[in-house]
């Protein structure tokens, strides 16, 4: 089996990976220096949570960018290639709901522990050392799996497009990201997230118009529909109703959807970078930012897979397709090459260059978020908790910087080891739930139950994990007769292992919480404070006039209502419309048009709206370069300045929100 020749040169690959990385580093240094000169002091509070001042638009952009991994772009096209429109729909629907569900945890963190930097700080204060270390293990495991999938998928695609050495890409991508993350911290990550998101959405729209409105290969939704019918007759092996690529009905796609929604809800809940963006958001922006980000993110995989995933199905038998005259192999789809091959088919070298840009943008934005998330855990939950309890702000900042470098080196080495062992994108995607599912029930209980104690939380996460591993490996052997790299990555044992882990964890924590109720009153979470360079412990609720417990309580109710509505609309109501029949040409035409309209909505929500929302800050920064304009508003409030309000007596509001505690 011959391997298609790369359409681009190695110089193009190294130019993007190294050159764009250097450009982002220089740009972030300039932006960080500009903000620092205008009141945005460089300290660990700024580095880790951006002084808790990020607005709705940038929060949404940060969320959508953090959730748009190279894995997202590649895997969504893979499942559309396998299941047709069912794959595009289920991937988008079942991976967008996690972010919207997480808005409930984000607002609970604002209410219960407004001074927190990581969710693990909450676990430590509430449950003690054993549970703290246990959840730290699973959190860092989730971060490791995320970055591994991002690096393996992105590097394989970049290598296929340019011919550069995959090991080189695995090491160069984290290096370029670490360079600008070190200087700018979370705010730099969020600002680059904004740019990455804009570029990715523009490229997605470019692909849509190239496929559905121009050229003689497809040119319209109607022709795409006819080509999909021809592919059905030609292949006759799609795991869907009547082997059709234009139906929602597919048991395999449904199983994939269930696995996705469960395992990646666990990823989001365990990934400290998502908690950080909720903490960094202004109190009024956390819920709308996450909901807007989740709705906008839907367009990424839905529009891209409805376009490029279906292109691979429709044009695989044409001479323009890189693997012609054969179909794509399992190794090629497992490496995530559906998108690169489809882009090359439609647009030649221009399409390959566009995918190369997509891979760089999606890899670097995801890795940057992970670097900040992990470095914050290392500095606060490891360094200050177990090694230097009296560490002040600048010491924590140095620890964060060391952690960024250390985690970059760890992930480059770990991903190289996985690649050398033959682990691909499909393997990591399917088995992630084994490591994340068991943590879901105790995490939910931490934020929403006063009865769950340390015994219930610790026993449930380890009991669920052990159960998941046993079910996963035993069913792999039973279904396939052997336990190896290929069989353990199969969908069914991974799905059942994940389900077993969640179910057993939920059972353990519920039973132990009923037998040994904790009756937790939330007061101790006020012990989490902001540490300044002068060894002061600051309560941010004193400094932030927008912190209103009653508004946060209403926001929590809003988050639950919106989450329930969107879950029912996207997961239940929409697929039921077409679950028993094939999609006709008229409905498919509307399906394709909805996909592009959703992409346009996403562009407005996460690229135009943040500019409108932050127009005053942008104007002030611009005017700072104009001679004669010196009296500018401070860009971000410095938490170390200003007078603190009087502390209260440590009481809680009637919903359990921490007002303050004088420690």
Q: Are 481 and 351 part of one and the same domain?
A: no
Residue 153 included in any domain:
yes
Report residue 128: phi and psi, to 5°.
100, -175
Q: What is the DSSP letter of 538?
A: E
Q: What local confidence, expressed as pLDDT, does residue 535 receive?
A: 53
Q: Are 413 and 455 part of one and the same domain?
A: no
Are the C-beta atoms of 472 and 488 separated by less than 8 Å? yes
Residue 132 included in any domain:
yes
Dist CA 195 CA 280 (whole Å): 19
Q: Are 197 and 324 part of one and the same domain?
A: yes
Those residues with Cβ within 8 angstroms of residue 123's Cβ, 6 or more apart along the chain or in another chain: 131, 132, 135, 446, 457
| Nearest residue to 57 via CA among 180, 183, 205, 191 | 191
Q: What local confidence, expressed as pLDDT, does residue 658 receive?
A: 38
Q: Are 506 and 619 part of one and the same domain?
A: no
| Nearest residue to 618 via CA among 41, 50, 86, 58 | 58
Q: What local confidence, expressed as pLDDT, does residue 167 receive?
A: 93
Dist CA 50 CA 210 (whole Å): 39
Are the C-beta atoms of 118 and 126 separated by less than 8 Å? no
Q: What local confidence, expressed as pLDDT, does residue 542 receive?
A: 47
Q: What local confidence, expressed as pLDDT, does residue 636 receive?
A: 41
- What is the distance, to the nearest Å, from the Cα of residue 452 to the centroid of all Cα atoms in its chain? 28
Burial 262-281 (b: 16+ CB within 10 A, else e): bbbbbbbbbbbbbbbbbbbb
Q: Are 510 and 578 part of one and the same domain?
A: no
Are the C-beta atoms of 60 and 266 separated by less than 8 Å? no
- Residue 369 pLDDT class (50, 70, 90 cuts): confident
| Nearest residue to 363 via CA among 412, 404, 400, 329 | 412
Residue 271 included in any domain:
yes
The domain in which residue 75 lies consists of: 56-421+548-625
Dist CA 649 CA 467 (whole Å): 45
Q: Are 595 and 446 part of one and the same domain?
A: no
pLDDT digits (tens, 9 = 90+) for 389-439: 887 777 888 888 899 999 999 999 999 999 998 888 788 888 899 999 999
Dist CA 230 CA 313 (whole Å): 10
In this prediction, what percent of the chain has a pLDDT beyond 90? Answer: 36
pLDDT digits (tens, 9 = 90+) for 193-205: 778 888 899 999 9
> % helix / strand / coil in the chain, to the nearest 5?
75, 0, 25
Q: Are 173 and 309 part of one and the same domain?
A: yes
Q: What local confidence, expressed as pLDDT, does residue 53 receive?
A: 53
Q: What local confidence, expressed as pLDDT, does residue 230 receive?
A: 94
pLDDT at residue 555 tops 80: no
- How distant, in Å, are the alpha carbons of 136, 181, 198, 255, 350 from that of 118? 10, 18, 28, 33, 42
Q: What is the DSSP letter of 525?
A: G
Residue 16 included in any domain:
no
pLDDT at residue 454 tops 80: yes
What is the tally of structural domains in the chain?
2
Q: Extract the tokens encoding 500.
A: 């077993």
Strand-pairing partners, residue 281, are: 54
Residue 118 included in any domain:
yes
Dist CA 537 CA 310 (whole Å): 56
Dist CA 367 CA 193 (whole Å): 11
As a whole number, the mean pLDDT across the chain is 81
- Residue 458 pLDDT class (50, 70, 90 cuts): very high
Strand-pairing partners, residue 13, are: none
Last-in-domain residue among 471, 500, 520: 520
Residue 12 included in any domain:
no
Half-sphere exposure for 17 (CA within 13 Å, toward CB): 28
- How distant, in Å, are the alpha carbons of 77, 108, 310, 391, 460 from that of 64? 18, 21, 23, 34, 31
Q: What local confidence, expressed as pLDDT, does residue 641 receive?
A: 36
pLDDT digits (tens, 9 = 90+) for 199-240: 899 999 999 999 999 878 899 999 999 999 999 999 988 898
Those residues with Cβ within 8 angstroms of residue 379's Cβ, 6 or more apart along the chain or in another chain: 44, 48, 396, 397, 399, 400, 403
Q: What's the mean pLDDT in 478-498?
A: 91
Q: Are 305 and 269 part of one and the same domain?
A: yes
- Residue 633 pLDDT class (50, 70, 90 cuts): very low
pLDDT digits (tens, 9 = 90+) for 19-36: 887 887 777 777 666 666
Dist CA 532 CA 468 (whole Å): 42
Q: Are 502 and 610 part of one and the same domain?
A: no
Q: Are 447 and 413 part of one and the same domain?
A: no
CATH number at residue 567: 1.20.1730
- What is the distance, to the nearest Å, from the Cα of residue 77 to the centroid of all Cα atoms in its chain? 17
pLDDT digits (tens, 9 = 90+) for 359-368: 888 888 788 8
Are the C-beta atoms of 502 and 464 separated by less than 8 Å? yes
pLDDT digits (tens, 9 = 90+) for 70-109: 888 988 999 999 999 999 998 988 888 887 788 777 777 7
Residue 645 included in any domain:
no
Dist CA 423 CA 273 (whole Å): 25
Those residues with Cβ within 8 angstroms of residue 557's Cβ, 6 or more apart along the chain or in another chain: none
Strand-pairing partners, residue 626, are: none
Q: Extract the tokens encoding 57.
A: 């638009």
- What is the distance, to the nearest Å, from the Cα of residue 482 to the centroid of all Cα atoms in its chain? 33
Q: Are 110 and 204 part of one and the same domain?
A: yes
Residue 183 included in any domain:
yes
Element containing residue 66 per DSSP (H, E): helix 56-67
Q: Is 89 exposed, middle or buried, given 0-12, 13-18 or 19+ CB atoms closer than 10 A?
A: buried
Query: Sign (positive/negative) of CA torsion 557, 457, 93, 321?
Result: positive
Q: What is the pTM of this model?
A: 0.83
pLDDT at residue 292 tops 90: no
Last-in-domain residue among 594, 610, 625: 625
pLDDT digits (tens, 9 = 90+) for 298-319: 889 999 999 999 999 999 999 9
3 state DSSP class of 389: coil
Q: What local confidence, expressed as pLDDT, does residue 466 receive?
A: 97
Q: What local confidence, expressed as pLDDT, does residue 184 receive?
A: 61
Q: What local confidence, expressed as pLDDT, does residue 625 receive?
A: 57
- What is the distance, to the nearest Å, from the Cα of residue 213 to the centroid of all Cα atoms in its chain? 31
pLDDT digits (tens, 9 = 90+) for 244-286: 999 988 888 888 888 888 888 888 889 888 887 767 666 666 6
pLDDT at residue 3 tops 70: yes
Q: What local confidence, expressed as pLDDT, does residue 285 receive?
A: 67
Segment of 98-107, 157-166, 458-467, 479-488 carrying the highest mean pLDDT: 458-467
Q: Are 197 and 321 part of one and the same domain?
A: yes
């Amino acid at each position: 089996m011959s391997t298609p020749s790369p359409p681009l040169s190695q110089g193009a690959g190294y130019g993007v990976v190294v050159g764009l990385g250097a450009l982002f580093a220089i740009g972030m240094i300039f932006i960080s220096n500009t903000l620092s000169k205008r009141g945005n002091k460089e300290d660990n509070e700024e580095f880790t949570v951006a002084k808790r001042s990020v607005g709705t638009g940038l929060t949404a952009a940060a969320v959508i960018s953090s959730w748009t991994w190279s894995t997202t772009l590649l895997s969504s096209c893979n499942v559309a290639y396998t299941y047709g429109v069912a794959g595009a729909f289920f991937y988008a629907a079942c991976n967008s709901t996690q972010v919207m569900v997480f808005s409930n945890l984000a607002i609970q963190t604002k209410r219960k522990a407004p001074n927190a930097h990581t969710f693990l700080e909450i676990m430590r204060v509430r449950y003690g050392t054993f549970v703290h270390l246990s959840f730290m293990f699973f959190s860092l495991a989730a971060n490791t799996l995320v970055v591994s999938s991002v690096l393996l998928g992105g590097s394989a695609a970049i290598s296929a497009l340019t011919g550069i050495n995959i090991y080189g890409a695995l090491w160069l991508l984290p290096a370029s990201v670490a360079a600008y993350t070190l200087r700018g911290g979370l705010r730099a990550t969020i600002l680059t997230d904004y740019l990455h998101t804009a570029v990715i959405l523009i490229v997605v729209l470019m692909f849509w118009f190239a496929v559905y409105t121009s050229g003689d290969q497809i040119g319209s939704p109607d022709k795409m529909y006819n080509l999909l019918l021809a592919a059905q007759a030609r292949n006759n092996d799609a795991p869907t109703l009547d082997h059709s690529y234009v139906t929602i009905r597919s048991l395999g796609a449904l199983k994939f959807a269930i696995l996705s929604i469960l395992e990646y809800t666990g990823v989001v809940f365990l990934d400290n970078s998502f908690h950080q963006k909720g903490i960094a958001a202004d109190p009024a922006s956390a819920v709308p930012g996450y909901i807007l980000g989740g709705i906008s993110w839907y367009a990424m995989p839905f529009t891209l897979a409805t376009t490029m995933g279906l292109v691979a199905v429709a044009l695989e038998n044409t001479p323009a397709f890189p693997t012609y005259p054969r179909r794509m192999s399992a190794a090629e789809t497992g490496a995530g090459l559906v998108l690169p091959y489809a882009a090359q088919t439609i647009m030649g070298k221009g399409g390959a260059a566009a995918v190369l840009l997509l891979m760089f943008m999606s890899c670097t934005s995801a890795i940057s978020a992970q670097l900040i998330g992990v470095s914050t855990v290392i500095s606060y939950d490891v360094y200050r908790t177990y090694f230097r309890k009296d560490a002040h702000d600048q010491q924590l900042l140095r620890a964060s910087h060391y952690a960024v470098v250390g985690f970059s080196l760890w992930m480059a080495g770990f991903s190289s080891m996985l690649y050398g062992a033959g682990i691909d994108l499909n393997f990591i995607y399917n088995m992630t739930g084994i490591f994340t599912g068991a943590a879901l029930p105790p995490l939910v209980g931490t934020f929403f139950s006063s009865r769950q104690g340390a015994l219930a939380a610790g026993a449930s996460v380890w009991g669920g994990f052990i159960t998941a591993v046993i079910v996963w490996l035993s069913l792999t052997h039973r279904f396939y007769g052997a336990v190896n790299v290929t069989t353990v990555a199969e969908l069914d044992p991974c799905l059942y292992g994940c389900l077993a882990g969640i179910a057993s964890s939920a059972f353990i924590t519920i039973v132990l919480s009923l037998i040994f109720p904790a009756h937790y009153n939330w007061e101790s979470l006020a012990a989490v404070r902001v540490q300044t360079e002068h060894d002061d412990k600051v309560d941010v609720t004193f400094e932030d006039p927008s912190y209103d417990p009653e508004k946060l309580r209403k926001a929590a109710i809003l988050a639950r209502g919106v989450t329930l509505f969107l879950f029912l609309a996207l997961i239940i109501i929409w697929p039921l419309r077409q679950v028993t029949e094939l999609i006709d040409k008229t409905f498919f035409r509307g399906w394709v048009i909805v996909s592009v309209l959703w992409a346009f909505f996403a562009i407005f929500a996460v690229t135009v709206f943040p500019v409108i929302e932050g127009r005053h800050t942008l104007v002030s920064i611009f005017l700072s370069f104009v001679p004669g304009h010196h009296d500018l508003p401070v860009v971000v409030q410095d938490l170390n300045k200003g007078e603190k309000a009087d502390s209260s007596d440590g009481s809680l509001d009637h919903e359990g929100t921490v007002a303050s505690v004088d420690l």
